[in-house]
Amino acid sequence: MNYPNGKKSKTPDLVTNNEKNSKIEYGKRGMKFEDEIDLSNRYYLQQDIAIIHKKPTPIQIVHVDYPKRAKAVIKEAYFRRASTTDYNGIYKGKYIDFEAKATQNKTSFPLINIHDHQVKHMQQVYQHGGIVFILICFSSLDEIYLLPFEIFFNYWQRYLNNERKSIQLKEIKKNGILIPYTFRPRIDYLKAVQSFYTV
Protein backbone atom coordinates (compact mmCIF):
# COMPACT_ATOMS: atom_id res chain seq x y z
CA MET A 1 0.00 0.00 0.00
CA ASN A 2 1.32 3.47 -0.85
CA TYR A 3 0.44 6.67 0.98
CA PRO A 4 -0.61 9.75 -1.09
CA ASN A 5 2.94 11.13 -0.76
CA GLY A 6 4.26 8.06 -2.58
CA LYS A 7 5.89 6.46 0.45
CA LYS A 8 5.20 2.83 1.17
CA SER A 9 3.34 1.70 4.27
CA LYS A 10 5.50 0.12 6.98
CA THR A 11 2.98 -2.62 7.78
CA PRO A 12 4.88 -5.95 7.62
CA ASP A 13 4.10 -8.18 4.63
CA LEU A 14 2.77 -11.65 5.34
CA VAL A 15 4.78 -13.12 2.48
CA THR A 16 8.49 -13.12 1.79
CA ASN A 17 9.93 -10.92 -0.96
CA ASN A 18 11.31 -13.93 -2.82
CA GLU A 19 8.18 -16.04 -2.64
CA LYS A 20 5.28 -13.65 -3.13
CA ASN A 21 3.00 -16.27 -4.67
CA SER A 22 3.86 -19.33 -2.64
CA LYS A 23 4.82 -19.42 1.00
CA ILE A 24 3.43 -17.52 4.00
CA GLU A 25 6.04 -16.32 6.49
CA TYR A 26 4.34 -17.53 9.66
CA GLY A 27 6.71 -15.75 12.02
CA LYS A 28 5.18 -12.42 10.95
CA ARG A 29 1.57 -13.57 11.18
CA GLY A 30 0.92 -11.84 14.52
CA MET A 31 3.09 -8.77 13.98
CA LYS A 32 0.32 -6.42 12.82
CA PHE A 33 -1.81 -7.54 15.75
CA GLU A 34 1.01 -6.85 18.21
CA ASP A 35 1.69 -3.48 16.57
CA GLU A 36 -1.95 -2.53 17.15
CA ILE A 37 -1.74 -3.63 20.80
CA ASP A 38 1.45 -1.59 21.22
CA LEU A 39 -0.31 1.49 19.80
CA SER A 40 -3.23 0.91 22.16
CA ASN A 41 -0.83 0.60 25.11
CA ARG A 42 0.84 3.87 24.08
CA TYR A 43 -2.59 5.52 24.07
CA TYR A 44 -3.38 4.12 27.55
CA LEU A 45 -0.05 5.48 28.81
CA GLN A 46 -0.50 8.92 27.23
CA GLN A 47 -4.02 9.21 28.65
CA ASP A 48 -2.83 8.01 32.09
CA ILE A 49 -5.24 5.05 31.94
CA ALA A 50 -2.77 2.20 32.46
CA ILE A 51 0.91 1.29 32.22
CA ILE A 52 1.23 -1.86 30.11
CA HIS A 53 4.29 -2.89 28.10
CA LYS A 54 5.42 -5.74 25.89
CA LYS A 55 7.93 -7.95 27.67
CA PRO A 56 11.31 -8.22 25.94
CA THR A 57 12.29 -11.71 24.78
CA PRO A 58 15.31 -12.89 26.80
CA ILE A 59 18.04 -13.84 24.30
CA GLN A 60 21.75 -14.53 24.58
CA ILE A 61 23.79 -13.17 21.67
CA VAL A 62 26.54 -15.55 20.57
CA HIS A 63 27.93 -14.04 17.36
CA VAL A 64 27.72 -10.55 15.89
CA ASP A 65 29.03 -9.52 12.47
CA TYR A 66 30.33 -5.96 12.12
CA PRO A 67 30.51 -5.18 8.36
CA LYS A 68 30.47 -1.49 9.32
CA ARG A 69 30.56 0.10 12.74
CA ALA A 70 26.94 1.34 12.49
CA LYS A 71 25.57 -1.86 10.90
CA ALA A 72 26.09 -4.67 13.40
CA VAL A 73 24.21 -7.86 12.48
CA ILE A 74 23.36 -10.58 15.00
CA LYS A 75 24.33 -13.85 13.30
CA GLU A 76 23.67 -16.28 16.12
CA ALA A 77 21.60 -16.08 19.30
CA TYR A 78 19.48 -18.33 21.48
CA PHE A 79 16.76 -17.97 24.08
CA ARG A 80 18.28 -17.75 27.56
CA ARG A 81 15.08 -19.07 29.14
CA ALA A 82 11.50 -19.71 28.16
CA SER A 83 9.55 -16.47 27.94
CA THR A 84 6.30 -16.14 29.86
CA THR A 85 3.51 -13.99 28.41
CA ASP A 86 3.62 -11.11 25.94
CA TYR A 87 2.40 -8.17 28.04
CA ASN A 88 2.20 -7.01 31.63
CA GLY A 89 1.59 -3.87 33.63
CA ILE A 90 -0.79 -2.18 36.04
CA TYR A 91 -4.36 -0.99 35.61
CA LYS A 92 -6.38 0.70 38.37
CA GLY A 93 -4.07 -0.74 41.03
CA LYS A 94 -4.30 -4.29 39.65
CA TYR A 95 -1.48 -6.26 38.07
CA ILE A 96 -2.39 -7.25 34.52
CA ASP A 97 -0.73 -10.01 32.48
CA PHE A 98 -1.76 -11.40 29.11
CA GLU A 99 -0.77 -13.33 26.01
CA ALA A 100 -1.69 -12.19 22.49
CA LYS A 101 -2.10 -14.70 19.67
CA ALA A 102 -3.19 -14.42 16.05
CA THR A 103 -4.50 -17.24 13.90
CA GLN A 104 -5.55 -17.55 10.26
CA ASN A 105 -8.07 -20.26 11.20
CA LYS A 106 -11.70 -19.28 10.70
CA THR A 107 -13.43 -21.78 12.98
CA SER A 108 -11.06 -22.49 15.89
CA PHE A 109 -7.98 -21.41 17.82
CA PRO A 110 -5.27 -24.15 17.88
CA LEU A 111 -3.93 -24.65 21.40
CA ILE A 112 -0.55 -25.71 20.05
CA ASN A 113 0.06 -21.94 19.86
CA ILE A 114 0.22 -21.79 23.67
CA HIS A 115 3.05 -23.35 25.70
CA ASP A 116 2.80 -25.16 29.01
CA HIS A 117 5.22 -22.79 30.79
CA GLN A 118 3.07 -19.84 29.71
CA VAL A 119 -0.05 -21.42 31.18
CA LYS A 120 1.80 -22.16 34.44
CA HIS A 121 2.89 -18.54 34.63
CA MET A 122 -0.65 -17.28 33.98
CA GLN A 123 -2.00 -19.67 36.61
CA GLN A 124 0.45 -18.33 39.20
CA VAL A 125 -0.49 -14.72 38.42
CA TYR A 126 -4.19 -15.61 38.60
CA GLN A 127 -3.75 -17.36 41.96
CA HIS A 128 -2.09 -14.21 43.32
CA GLY A 129 -5.05 -12.05 42.29
CA GLY A 130 -3.76 -10.64 39.02
CA ILE A 131 -5.92 -10.00 35.96
CA VAL A 132 -4.95 -12.64 33.40
CA PHE A 133 -6.34 -13.32 29.93
CA ILE A 134 -5.55 -14.17 26.33
CA LEU A 135 -6.27 -11.89 23.39
CA ILE A 136 -7.08 -13.98 20.33
CA CYS A 137 -7.13 -12.41 16.89
CA PHE A 138 -8.85 -14.27 14.05
CA SER A 139 -6.94 -12.44 11.32
CA SER A 140 -8.97 -13.66 8.37
CA LEU A 141 -12.23 -12.65 10.11
CA ASP A 142 -10.94 -9.33 11.53
CA GLU A 143 -12.23 -10.33 14.97
CA ILE A 144 -10.48 -10.06 18.33
CA TYR A 145 -11.66 -11.71 21.54
CA LEU A 146 -10.58 -11.48 25.16
CA LEU A 147 -10.71 -14.88 26.83
CA PRO A 148 -10.32 -14.68 30.64
CA PHE A 149 -7.80 -17.11 32.06
CA GLU A 150 -10.31 -18.91 34.29
CA ILE A 151 -12.35 -19.78 31.19
CA PHE A 152 -9.31 -20.54 29.02
CA PHE A 153 -7.96 -22.93 31.67
CA ASN A 154 -10.96 -25.25 31.24
CA TYR A 155 -10.14 -25.55 27.54
CA TRP A 156 -6.46 -26.09 28.38
CA GLN A 157 -7.33 -29.01 30.68
CA ARG A 158 -9.46 -30.48 27.91
CA TYR A 159 -6.43 -30.16 25.61
CA LEU A 160 -4.16 -31.89 28.14
CA ASN A 161 -6.69 -34.73 28.39
CA ASN A 162 -6.48 -35.19 24.59
CA GLU A 163 -10.17 -34.36 24.21
CA ARG A 164 -9.76 -31.44 21.76
CA LYS A 165 -6.72 -29.68 20.34
CA SER A 166 -8.38 -26.33 19.80
CA ILE A 167 -11.00 -23.92 21.11
CA GLN A 168 -13.87 -23.58 18.68
CA LEU A 169 -14.75 -20.06 17.58
CA LYS A 170 -18.35 -20.60 18.71
CA GLU A 171 -17.02 -21.38 22.23
CA ILE A 172 -14.91 -18.22 22.21
CA LYS A 173 -17.91 -16.18 21.01
CA LYS A 174 -20.01 -17.62 23.82
CA ASN A 175 -17.51 -17.32 26.69
CA GLY A 176 -15.13 -14.59 25.55
CA ILE A 177 -15.61 -10.88 24.92
CA LEU A 178 -15.55 -9.44 21.40
CA ILE A 179 -13.34 -6.35 21.13
CA PRO A 180 -14.50 -4.14 18.26
CA TYR A 181 -11.89 -2.07 16.46
CA THR A 182 -12.03 1.62 17.41
CA PHE A 183 -10.11 4.71 16.35
CA ARG A 184 -8.33 5.51 19.63
CA PRO A 185 -7.27 3.16 20.99
CA ARG A 186 -7.30 0.74 18.05
CA ILE A 187 -7.90 -2.28 20.30
CA ASP A 188 -9.66 -1.13 23.48
CA TYR A 189 -9.11 -4.35 25.39
CA LEU A 190 -9.30 -2.59 28.78
CA LYS A 191 -12.98 -1.90 28.11
CA ALA A 192 -13.43 -5.67 27.79
CA VAL A 193 -11.40 -6.16 30.99
CA GLN A 194 -13.78 -3.84 32.85
CA SER A 195 -16.81 -5.72 31.59
CA PHE A 196 -15.55 -9.01 33.06
CA TYR A 197 -13.34 -8.18 36.05
CA THR A 198 -14.07 -6.02 39.09
CA VAL A 199 -11.61 -3.16 38.61
The CATH number for 56's domain is 3.40.1350.10
Do the domain assignments include residue 64? yes
Specify the higher pLDDT residue, 197 or 161. Answer: 161
Handedness of CA 138, 120, 35, 60 (dihedral sign): negative
Residue 78: CB atoms within 10 Å: 8
Report if residue 52 sits inside a domain. Answer: yes
Q: Using CA atoms, how far apart are residues 24 and 42, in angstroms rounded to an integer?
A: 29
Let me know if residue 124 belongs to a domain.
Answer: yes
- Domain assignment present for 20: no
**Count of Cβ atoms closer than 10 Å to residue 98 Cβ:** 25
**Does 100 fall in a domain?**
yes
Among residues 92, 100, 178, the alpha carbon closest in space to that of 133 is found at 100
Residues in a beta bridge with 2? 8
Domain-located, residue 106: yes
Q: Which amino acid is at 97?
A: D
What are the pLDDT digits (tens) for 83-134? 678 899 999 999 999 999 999 999 999 999 899 999 999 999 999 999 999 9
pLDDT digits (tens, 9 = 90+) for 1-48: 444 444 444 433 333 333 333 333 444 444 689 999 999 999 999 999
Q: Name the domain count of the chain.
A: 1
Amino acid (one-letter) located at 69: R
Tell me if 8 is assigned to some domain.
Answer: no
User: Which of these, 91, 93, 112, lies nearest to 166 by C-alpha position?
Assistant: 112
Structural domain boundaries, residue 118: 26-196
